[in-house]
Amino acid sequence: MKFQPTPLEGALVIELEPLADGRGFFARSFCQEEFRARGLDPAIAQCNVSFNRRRGTLRGLHYQARPHLEAKVVRCTQGAIWDVIVDLRAGSPTLKRWFALELSAENRRALYVPQGFAHGFQTLVDASEVLYQMSEFHRPESARGVRWDDPALAIPWPVASPILSERDRAFPALAQAELP
């Protein structure tokens, strides 16, 4: 695996290093030792799949509050998404900054999202599936979020008029949110 830094401290893009032959390829997509050696949280408490029928579906921006902060590795296993993270860590040099990139079944990239970040994505094509490896169990009482369209963040989502859940629509602006 190749770990590429992002502009947000602690967040990394993970690229596969495939060993290819006439059959296809084999690649490691996760290794606790490699994560630990880079100071990343190597725990996996839970894995989740999000299947999204329609282009433009937007999920986020989600995070868990203390004491259930979570790191995650996000990978698109079918279709394509525009993946977004926002640094919400108090005292961080990149606090309230965001980063986005395309994750797709074709590019096979993943994004390591540290604890204390909000995460969301928007589907770029129909029938997109996202796999999450989470360092903490989902705790509904700790689930939080910030508005996807907060002017303070000014995230340029690629698909106009997104498909959103009522829950995601109702999240507070960053200035009113309970940060981790």
Question: Residues with catalytic annotation?
Answer: 62, 132
The count of other CB atoms within 10 Å of the CB of residue 179 is 16
3-state SS assignment for residue 82: strand
CA gap 148, 119 in Å, rounded: 10
3-state SS assignment for residue 33: helix
CA gap 116, 60 in Å, rounded: 14
The count of other CB atoms within 10 Å of the CB of residue 133 is 19
3-state SS assignment for residue 90: coil
Q: What is Dmax (Cα atoms) for the chain?
A: 55
Tokens representing 71 are: 């790191």
